[in-house]
Structure 1
């Protein structure tokens, strides 16, 4: 079947030259059972017209897409993992295998997880559990529906192997995943070249990222380009911090090798959505210090962006780097205000009253340990939802906080017709760990994929309602 006319291959990574990745081969899997294909995302890059057989050929056997990368590339990078520098990492179970423009002109990358061993695999087997793939579907679908800037799970193909893992019942089923991202270049990519004091490679990487992911070229010196680039990434990462907080999402592993230079949320590990407002809530059982707890995520990303600045220190003066990074807290708070008002579906008024509203909401949710999604569901549209909120299971708690109720009912809806959507006549859509485990149990015990499909449909209905 011919590809859509909107398919525009652009294997830009090859223009970087040597030193940025290693050509690899995909694993030869014993079975290829298509479990999930994201046709919505595929339509954006002209791949939605593929038949299922063709889809598996490209997204599980990794046959070359037309005019694209001839050989998959495992990228080289270092990174701070829980703020400890590790020079012994890289793409250990994934690779980049295609790049193309989407309908808006952005350069998009198709990368994998679970596609086999690479030179960076160390003792790992290069595989992904099927449950890990299902987890990534749920995280990316929910985040997209909530309006965050996130990568999308593009494809899951079950591969017929039995894997042994210490963090889930084993042997467990295997899969190979493809994710669609606006860039796979990470903060850790820059750290690797800084580690070797290779300023030529650093400058090449800066020019590549400016051209292909920020659609700009900066005239002037290498330092001018690097500082301009750092400022752009700083703004994107500050916005990412706001996305995480407004979505009530705990990423779990905000290491510098998991933060890309476009500010997308990606590379999901032991994630969680908040069951209720709790600043100390953590996602990873191994995060014993709570370094990446919900309330510490902005600080973690602030720290990470300083590591990018440090990687550019051989190009730029230290004070100039600090000056570029200094606005991070202000940029983050501005982005967070905008995100929270979007979540509440109300029109901002002025900074003083808006801050008072957000303070009242924050204090109420913290004090009451309030169900996170329930609040935004009940009060979407502000004063327009007063009668609807009065029928909520949590109505008595709203009534007991006169300050909160007065503050939020004084706000007008940003989209008055949004509440006509069927979503708001039901219950809030959540993606809590108990729900995920229930979905997985149906797959693991009975190979029943209907609960997963139903949940995806419910999440997308919420996304449609919030975007109206």
Structure 2
């Protein structure tokens, strides 16, 4: 299958061709009056697209899904620990995939496109605020070097849709997302739960070819995915990022972060920080993220067991378990490496992790701002963040003995501009009321998060009231 918008790079449906059982042809609804709120011109260039073409008739047809060959994907997942046998693109379509200017195959995916056969209720529409939130979070993570999906564009549809929170209608919106792919742990769960092993095998081969070409077979795929998740979650933890809903359908096999709904960034360092309105038990709290990643990978491993050894299930379990038991070590290595960069030190992983654990205990005991502390190491004044600085001085002396980086080097590693809860919410509320300028300002700030710029001082700190802030899943 192939579809294209004139004068734009051709789109393909390689996933549907490789595993036809896991998607269906589906067309996005025609929005009544689409208008671009924000266009990611840098990303458009990466994809080989002219931003002016995207603003024209052909581009708007692509950005609103009014092209041939689009599909909706089906998947399953464990949501808050409980299996759900069918999820999928309930209000989204896969526009297709293309080869970008660096030779990478990437998906274009449209959210808010109306109901599909996989919808679980509702009208399939999306409100503007959550679409802008996903754009902001994706651009910030990308700018910090964290693997992530990104937004190519956010558009309003020209309609008011039923409220997700509150009582007033909300502006309808579309998000055009770019991802290495939309293959998820939940994709394998659906294949394993609903189809014979031949479908899972085809899915395994497709995933290997697309994302992990140096790995061999299902066991190699499990190891490669586990390694990439260890790296990803280690970066989240260092940034103080709380994904908020780490269900298995939100774990991408490419190693990118995906689906930024009720996500947030720490102000004061707290292991038990939860900002999601739907995570009442704290399953996906900040400090739980590495353990949840391993839990999700265990569910992934279960789907691969028939491919590992169909005749001897115990042998298959042993093989998979041997890989999963290495996850904590891979995570520790990634965390130590990133922490050494953030602190500007050189030492053995054991030295770095011990110093880091003591630091995080101090930050939590004295309610010190997580990202603000790391930034202050380069700017000076870190000690002033502590209400009882004596313990910090002891820690700082041990850090100094390992320090190798200059203050300037630290400023290139630890971001100044963060999509803080209070500031991001204010920007999204303004967009809801018809003023997208604050959201655009935040997008510009977080896309270059290390460099202080005039006029953005109000985005440098946490603001008031972010500690007990709640975010809602609208994506």
TM-score in terms of structure 1 length: 0.87
Q: Please give the alpha-carbon distance, in whole angstroms, between the structure 2 residues aligned to 1:85 and 1:356.
A: 37
Q: 2:266 aligns to what? A: 274
Q: Please give the alpha-carbon distance, in whole angstroms, between the structure 2 residues aligned to 1:217 and 1:82.
A: 30
Can you list the C-alpha shifts for 1:354-401, whole angstroms capped at 9, x where unaligned? 233212321211111211111111113xxxx5xx226x7527655652
- Judging changes above 3 Å, is the alpha-carbon distance between structure 1 residues 318 and 238 closer, same or farther for their aligned structure 2 residues? same
Q: 2:59 aligns to what? A: 55
| Aligned pair partner of 1:461 in 448, 451, 465 | 448
How many equivalent residue pairs? 439
**Alignment check: 8 A CA contact 2:377 2:410 kept:** no
Q: 1:30 aligns to what? A: 32
SS state at 2:447 partner: helix
Can you list the C-alpha shifts for 1:283-334, whole angstroms capped at 9, x where unaligned? 2112111100111111111100000001112222111111121101111111
SS state at 2:21 partner: coil
SS state at 1:448 partner: coil
**Alignment check: 8 A CA contact 2:92 2:112 kept:** yes
| Aligned pair partner of 1:410 in 378, 401, 410 | 401
Can you list the C-alpha shifts for 1:214-260, whole angstroms capped at 9, x where unaligned? 23473xxxxxx111111111111122221221121111110011111
**Alignment check: 8 A CA contact 2:72 2:88 kept:** yes
How far has the Cα of 1:352 moved from its partner?
A: 3.9
Is it true that 1:149 corresponds to 2:125 in the alignment? no
Q: 2:426 aligns to what? A: 438
How far has the Cα of 1:183 moved from its partner?
A: 1.3
Q: Please give the alpha-carbon distance, in whole angstroms, between the structure 2 residues aligned to 1:107 and 1:463.
A: 29
**Alignment check: 8 A CA contact 2:368 2:385 kept:** no
| Structural mapping, 1:32-431, within 5 Å | 32-51=34-53, 52-53=55-56, 54-60=58-64, 62-64=65-67, 70-216=68-214, 218=216, 225-316=217-308, 317-344=316-343, 346-380=344-378, 388-389=380-381, 394=385, 398=389, 401-414=392-405, 417-418=408-409, 428-431=416-419
Q: Please give the alpha-carbon distance, in whole angstroms, between the structure 2 residues aligned to 1:237 and 1:366.
A: 26
Can you list the C-alpha shifts for 1:163-213, whole angstroms capped at 9, x where unaligned? 223424421111011111111011011111111251100110111011112
Q: Please give the alpha-carbon distance, in whole angstroms, between the structure 2 residues aligned to 1:44 and 1:464.
A: 23
- Judging changes above 3 Å, is the alpha-carbon distance between structure 1 residues 165 and 49 closer, same or farther for their aligned structure 2 residues? closer
Is it true that 1:21 corresponds to 2:23 in the alignment? yes
SS state at 1:451 partner: helix
SS state at 2:92 partner: coil
**Alignment check: 8 A CA contact 1:145 1:464 kept:** no
Can you list the C-alpha shifts for 1:400-441, whole angstroms capped at 9, x where unaligned? 5222221333344547654688x99xx932322211221123
Q: Please give the alpha-carbon distance, in whole angstroms, between the structure 2 residues aligned to 1:10 and 1:215.
A: 20
Q: Please give the alpha-carbon distance, in whole angstroms, between the structure 2 residues aligned to 1:160 and 1:367.
A: 49
Segments of structure 2 that go 5 or more residues without pairing to the other structure are 309-315, 453-475
Q: Please give the alpha-carbon distance, in whole angstroms, between the structure 2 residues aligned to 1:348 and 1:231.
A: 28
**Alignment check: 8 A CA contact 1:163 1:170 kept:** no
Q: Please give the alpha-carbon distance, in whole angstroms, between the structure 2 residues aligned to 1:288 and 1:115.
A: 30
Segments of structure 1 that go 5 or more residues without pairing to the other structure are 65-69, 219-224
**Alignment check: 8 A CA contact 1:92 1:124 kept:** no
- Judging changes above 3 Å, is the alpha-carbon distance between structure 1 residues 97 and 332 closer, same or farther for their aligned structure 2 residues? same
**Alignment check: 8 A CA contact 1:2 1:49 kept:** no
How far has the Cα of 1:464 moved from its partner?
A: 6.1
- Judging changes above 3 Å, is the alpha-carbon distance between structure 1 residues 12 and 397 closer, same or farther for their aligned structure 2 residues? farther
How far has the Cα of 1:451 moved from its partner?
A: 1.6
- Judging changes above 3 Å, is the alpha-carbon distance between structure 1 residues 12 and 88 closer, same or farther for their aligned structure 2 residues? closer
Q: 2:457 aligns to what? A: none
SS state at 1:19 partner: helix
Q: Please give the alpha-carbon distance, in whole angstroms, between the structure 1 residues aligned to 2:61 and 2:404.
A: 47
C-alpha RMSD of the superposition: 2.5
Q: Please give the alpha-carbon distance, in whole angstroms, between the structure 2 residues aligned to 1:439 and 1:376.
A: 25
**Alignment check: 8 A CA contact 2:128 2:432 kept:** no
SS state at 1:401 partner: helix
Q: 1:222 aligns to what? A: none
**Alignment check: 8 A CA contact 2:112 2:174 kept:** yes
Q: Please give the alpha-carbon distance, in whole angstroms, between the structure 1 residues aligned to 2:175 and 2:399.
A: 42
SS state at 1:315 partner: helix
